[in-house]
């Protein structure tokens, strides 16, 4: 759970800018905080991963963010886990290549609908849609994991009533605390880019964007290195001799 607040972030940015919100008002820093969320999730979809129950549309084609049983802020599907409808078998749903279904069951899109989904088809080039087999009925429900765009902070929200309240806001940020530094670097990049006609500020903007991108790249490498592994696949460790 995040603990860093909007007030923490904006105050730290203002201290570095040494501006007291004259050239860069707190409202602008808040807008750039929202922009930072979107930029982070675009590069690191796992930064705001969610799990929820998706209510299927009738048929094979499912739209993660558009249909009434979906998730409006969804950015891309990560996985379909299992059947969730009360009348379903509650069994796992497995990823399958579309070519396999097309070859083995050419008419799979027109088969009888059910609440018991067995497989799903996903194309990363169309990240907000997926297909299910057998076709779903409107009673079918699936547990899905998906990446989501964080909700924006807006002036007028609870705890963010005006310029002064932004710097003292106790509203927590939408991403985990490990993203505090990249968020701060992104805000500073946008702030200095505003005055990029000054050579020093242009250099500072570039430096902060480089720090932002490097932190996200380093995080990706660290996640890959520390992800859970299936030890049974490890070579050279087949039990005692």
Say if residue 134 is preceded by a cis peptide, omega within 30 of 0. yes
Q: Are residues 20 and 65 in the same domain?
A: no
Q: Please provide the DSSP assignment of the chain as one string.
A: ----BHHHHHHHHHHHHT-TTSSS-HHHHHHHHHHHHHHHHHH-GGGGEEEEEEEPPSEEEEETTTSTTS-TTEEEEEEEEEE--TTS---B-EE--HHHHHHH-TTGGGSPPBS---EEE--TTSTTEEEEEEEEPTT-EEEEEEEEPPPPP-BTBTT--SHHHHHH--PBPSS-GGGHHHHHHHHHHHHHHHTTTSHHHHHHHHHHHHHHHHHHHHHHHHHHHHS---GGG-TT--S--
- Among 88, 121, 148, the domain-final residue is 148
Q: Are residues 53 and 141 in the same domain?
A: yes
- For residue 240, tell me if it sits in a domain: no
Domain range spanning residue 54?
48-148
Alpha-carbon gap, residue 32 to 225, rounded angstroms: 31
Q: Are residues 56 and 171 in the same domain?
A: no
pTM of the predicted model as reported, rounded to 2 decimal places: 0.81
- For residue 231, tell me if it sits in a domain: no
pLDDT tens for the chain, 241 residues: list them. 889 999 999 999 999 999 888 889 999 999 999 999 999 999 999 999 999 999 999 999 999 998 888 999 999 999 999 999 999 999 999 999 999 999 999 999 999 999 999 999 999 999 999 999 999 999 999 999 999 999 999 999 988 999 999 999 999 999 999 999 999 999 999 999 987 667 788 999 999 999 999 999 865 554 444 344 445 555 455 444 3
Q: How many domains in the chain?
A: 2
- Among 148, 175, 194, the domain-final residue is 148
Reported as half-sphere exposure (CB side, CA atoms, 13 A), residue 75 has a value of 19
Alpha-carbon gap, residue 153 to 27, rounded angstroms: 10
- For residue 205, tell me if it sits in a domain: yes
- For residue 237, tell me if it sits in a domain: no
Q: Are residues 159 and 169 in the same domain?
A: yes
Q: Please provide the DSSP assignment of 123-174 as one string.
A: -TTSTTEEEEEEEEPTT-EEEEEEEEPPPPP-BTBTT--SHHHHHH--PBPS
Asked whether 71 and 52 are in contact (CB, 8 A), the reply is yes
Q: Are residues 55 and 114 in the same domain?
A: yes
- For residue 111, tell me if it sits in a domain: yes
Reported as half-sphere exposure (CB side, CA atoms, 13 A), residue 131 has a value of 17
Q: Are residues 18 and 109 in the same domain?
A: no
Q: Are residues 174 and 92 in the same domain?
A: no
- For residue 59, tell me if it sits in a domain: yes
- Among 124, 148, 172, the domain-final residue is 148
Q: Are residues 112 and 134 in the same domain?
A: yes
- For residue 109, tell me if it sits in a domain: yes
- For residue 167, tell me if it sits in a domain: yes
Q: Are residues 93 and 212 in the same domain?
A: no
CA dihedral 9, 12, 13, 17 (to 10 degrees): 170
The residue assigned the tokens 């993660």 is: 64
- Write out the two tokens for 175: 């991403």
Q: Are residues 34 and 116 in the same domain?
A: no
Q: Are residues 78 and 121 in the same domain?
A: yes
Q: Are residues 175 and 160 in the same domain?
A: yes
Of the candidates 140, 88, 85, the residue with the CA atom closest to the CA atom of residue 132: 140
């Amino acid at each position: 759970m995040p603990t860093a607040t909007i007030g923490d972030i904006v105050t730290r940015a203002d201290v570095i800018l040494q501006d007291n919100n004259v050239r860069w008002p707190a409202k602008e820093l808040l807008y750039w905080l929202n922009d930072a969320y979107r930029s982070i999730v675009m590069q690191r979809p796992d930064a705001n991963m969610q799990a929820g129950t998706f209510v299927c549309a009738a048929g094979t084609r499912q739209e993660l963010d558009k249909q009434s049983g979906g998730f409006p802020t969804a950015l891309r599907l990560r996985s379909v886990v299992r059947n969730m409808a009360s009348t379903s078998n509650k069994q796992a749903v497995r990823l399958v290549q579309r070519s396999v279904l097309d070859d083995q069951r050419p008419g799979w899109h027109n088969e009888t609908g059910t609440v018991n989904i067995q497989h799903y088809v996903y194309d990363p080039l169309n990240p907000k849609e997926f297909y299910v087999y057998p076709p779903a009925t409107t009673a079918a429900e699936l547990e899905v994991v998906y990446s989501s765009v964080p909700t924006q902070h807006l002036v007028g929200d609870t705890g963010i009533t005006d310029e002064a309240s932004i710097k003292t806001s106790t509203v927590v940020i939408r991403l985990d605390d490990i993203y505090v530094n990249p968020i701060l670097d992104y805000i500073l990049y946008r702030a200095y880019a505003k005055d990029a006609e000054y050579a020093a500020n242009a250099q500072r903007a570039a430096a902060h964007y480089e720090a932002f991108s490097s932190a996200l790249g380093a995080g990706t490498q660290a996640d890959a290195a520390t992800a859970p592994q299936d030890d049974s696949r490890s070579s050279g460790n087949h039990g005692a001799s």
